[in-house]
Amino acid sequence: MKKRIALDQIKPGSRFSEDVFVDDKNLLVPAKTAVKQRDIDALKRWGVTFVMTEGSLVDESATTGKETSTASSKLKPQGFAGSRELYLRYADPVDRLSQIFEKVHKSESVESKAVDQISQSVLALVRDERDAAILAILGSQNVGADLAREGVNIAVLSAVIGITLKLPAHKLTYLVLGALLHDSGMLRIPDSIVKKKTALSEDETQKVRAHPLISYRIITKEMMYPDDVGLIGLQHHERWDSEGYPRRTSSGEIDVLARIVSVADAFEAMVSEKPYRNSMIGYSAMKALLSDNSRRFDPDILKAFIKSIGIFPLGSTVLLNNSAIARVIETHPEAPLRPKLRVIVDEFGKHYENDEGDAVDLGAEKTLFIARALNPKELEGA
C-alpha cells in the first residue's frame, strides 16, 4: 500500500526503495533513482505537498556502497566516460537485468514489475543524461554481464531513436521493454551452442535462429506483456528486404518498434567489444549502416538514428585538416558532418587533459573539417 511522503522531507539526491508517484498513476522517479532539484521545484510549482510510494527513503551512505559492490560484481568499467554517479545509473540496470536473465535461463518465474522498474530507470537516464548515456556505450570498453549489458545498451539507443521520432509515451515504454528483453530467447539455447568457438552445424544454426520465437514466448506468455512488446522479440531479426528470420516477414508487416531495435541492435553489436573480434569505432559502424541500401533496415528509421547519434557519434575521436585531434562532444542533426569538438591535441602538438582543450564548433569554423575518424587506440602512447 502506498504511503504519503511530505515534500519537505525530500532533498535533491534522495532515493527510495520503490517507485515514487505524484499521484495514483503518474510516476515521479523509478526505484533507487535520485530525485533531482528540478523535480522538487516542479512539484512546488504545481502545488504538490506530498508524493506516494510503497517503499522508504534509502540511506545514501549505505546504498552507495551496496550499489557499487553489486554493480561492479557484474560489470567492470574500463575507461568509462562519465562520473561515478553516471556509472551507477548505467551499471545498476545492467546488474538488475542480469539477475532477471539468470532466472530466465533457469526457467524460473520473473515478475514483470522488476523489468518495468529497469525500463523506467533506462528512460530516466536517457531523458536526464542523453549524451552521457550514449557516451557510456561509445566512450568506454565495459566488460561483463554481456547479454544484460547489450540489452541495456540497445534499450538506451532505441529510446534515443524513439524520442527523436516523437513516439507517444506508452509506445516509448513498450520500446524500451522490448529492447531489454528482445534476446531473452538466447538464454534458452544450450550453452554448448552459444559458447561454441567453431562454426555451427546446420542444426545448431537453426536452433539459434529460433531464439526470436522463444523470446516472444518468454515476453508474452511468461512475463505477460502485450504483443506490442513481444513483437520486438519476435521480429528484431526480420529484414526490410524480407530475407530475415524466423518468418521472412515482409517490410510493411514488421512492427515499427522492432525496426527501431533492429537498427540499435546492429549498431551496438558493431561498437561493442566481443570475445571473437574488436569493436568498430562509431564512425565505421555508422558508415556500415549507411551502406545498407534498404536491405536490412527501414530507411526512415535509419535516418532517425543518424539524426539522433550523428555520422560522427558522440565520443568519436577525429583528425582535423589542420592536424589537430579532437573528440566529438555535440552533434548537429542538421549538419551531421560538422559536429562540435573538444581539442585533445592541437595543431602544434600540445596535449590537453581533463577537457582543457578548446571547444571547436565546425558549424561555425568553415575553414576546418574532419579529415578522418581515429580509433582511440591509435592515441595510446602518443
Whichever domain contains 169, its CATH number is 1.10.3210.10
pLDDT at 362 over 80: yes
**Are 259 and 217 in the same domain?**
yes
Distance, in Å, from the CA atom of 312 to the CA atom of 271, rounded to the nearest integer, reads 13
The CATH number of whichever domain residue 47 belongs to comes to 3.90.105
- Residue 107 φ/ψ region, left for φ over 0, alpha for ψ in the -120 to 50 degree band, beta for the rest: left
Distance, in Å, from the CA atom of 381 to the CA atom of 236, rounded to the nearest integer, reads 41
Query: Which of 309, 330, 358 is at the close of a domain?
Result: 309
What does the pLDDT read at residue 274? 60
Percentage with pLDDT > 90 across the chain: 53
**Are 200 and 215 in the same domain?**
yes
Q: Which of 126-140, 147-161, 251-265, 350-364 has the lowest mean pLDDT?
A: 126-140
Coil vs helix vs strand at 232: helix
Percentage with pLDDT > 70 across the chain: 87
- Per the CB < 8 A criterion, the answer to whether 318 and 376 are in contact is no
pLDDT at 344 over 80: yes
**Are 38 and 166 in the same domain?**
no
**Are 108 and 248 in the same domain?**
yes
**Are 52 and 152 in the same domain?**
no
What does the pLDDT read at residue 293? 86
**Are 96 and 184 in the same domain?**
yes
Q: Which three cell numbers stand for residue 75?
A: 560489470
Domain count within the chain: 3
Distance, in Å, from the CA atom of 169 to the CA atom of 167, rounded to the nearest integer, reads 6
**Are 231 and 336 in the same domain?**
no
pLDDT tens-place string over residues 49-76: 888 888 887 754 333 333 333 344 455 5
**Are 135 and 237 in the same domain?**
yes
pLDDT at 77 over 90: no
* CA torsion through residues 274, 239, 245, 211, sign: positive
Query: Which of 19, 34, 58 is at the close of a domain?
Result: 58
**Are 232 and 347 in the same domain?**
no
Mean pLDDT, the chain, whole residue set: 85
The pLDDT-based confidence of 21 (bands split at 50, 70, 90) is: confident
The boundaries of the domain holding residue 328 are 317-379
**Are 322 and 175 in the same domain?**
no
329: enclosing H helix or E strand: strand 325-330
pLDDT at 31 over 80: no
pLDDT at 78 over 60: no
| Average pLDDT of span 260-267 | 96
pLDDT at 143 over 80: no
**Are 294 and 334 in the same domain?**
no
What does the pLDDT read at residue 25? 64
Q: Name residue, grid cell 569554423.
A: 365
| Helix axes of 169-181 and 256-271: crossing angle, nearest 10 degrees | 50
Query: Which of 309, 325, 358 is at the close of a domain?
Result: 309
Q: Which three cell numbers stand for residue 10?
A: 525530500
pLDDT tens-place string over residues 98-138: 999 999 999 999 989 999 999 999 999 999 888 888 887 87
**Are 231 and 108 in the same domain?**
yes
